[in-house]
Amino acid sequence: MCKLWPLAFIALLFILAPLLGLWMPLGASTAPDFSDYGAGDARKEAFFGYMVPLIEQENDAILSSRARLLSIQQEGAPGWAERRWLMLLADRYELADFDATDPAHRAQLIKRVDKVPASIALAQAANESAWGTSRFARLGNNYFGQWCFVSGCGLVPEARNEGASHEVAAFDSVQESVRRYMNNINTHNAYADLRTRRASLRNEGNAISGLALAPALIRYSERGQEYVSELQAMIRGNELQQYDL
């Protein structure tokens, strides 16, 4: 028979637990405090050193799914287990009315299940999070400026336009932020042109580079072409192309 803990002890536990590292508040960042590094090369080095493995991990997972998907497409007649897996993958990549037995539907899925060039992900993360120092990065693990539209789903922007209801999403970890960002790029209609360009590069035997795909991010920001040019300058200035290889 278990004993009921005194309420005073429980209250004390709630106060001390975060201090003792027993749990983290929702959205609390486990990333380094990038403001501890001097602005410039030191902060950039720390930022890229932290973000590159997270981005590579997500891209590796995507490419693993892509390899299995391509194998199924080549075989031509997926079995029950493969059809079930395909349906789950199609749901993750937001393809409605997906027919796992239809090669054309599987081809649409292949177009979505592909890597996001690391150079683009790094440039956008640096740009959107102010090199990891923004309020949204520190308090919500949001490194890509992603929005959500349910009250309490994130952090309310201080400069939100009157009448606007969006919030900046909060994530349990930076890894989740990267995962959700890549899923957004691979599913949202605003980036259909990026996915088409990426598929063309593959079909032509060319490398999938951030510089080649950056123009297709013109709808990612209200700044449009100015934003795209800024990303391209960041990729070149920080030699981020090396991470696309």
pLDDT in tens, 157-211: 656 566 565 677 889 999 999 999 999 999 999 999 999 999 999 999 999 999 9
pLDDT of residue 22: 37
Residue type, 75: E
Spans in the chain with pLDDT lower than 50:
1-27
- pLDDT tens sequence across 112-121: 999 999 999 9
For residue 216, what pLDDT is reported?
97
Rounded CA separation 236/240 (Å)? 7
CB 90 within 8 A of CB 102: no
* Cβ neighbours around 120 below 10 Å, total: 29
- Please give the pLDDT value at position 245: 83
Cβ–Cβ under 8 Å, residues 197 and 212: yes
- CATH 1.10.530.10 at 34-244, yes or no: yes
For the chain, strand residue ranges (E) read 147-148, 154-155, 167-169
Q: What is the pLDDT of residue 158?
A: 58
**Token couple for 168:** 């900046």
DSSP 220: T
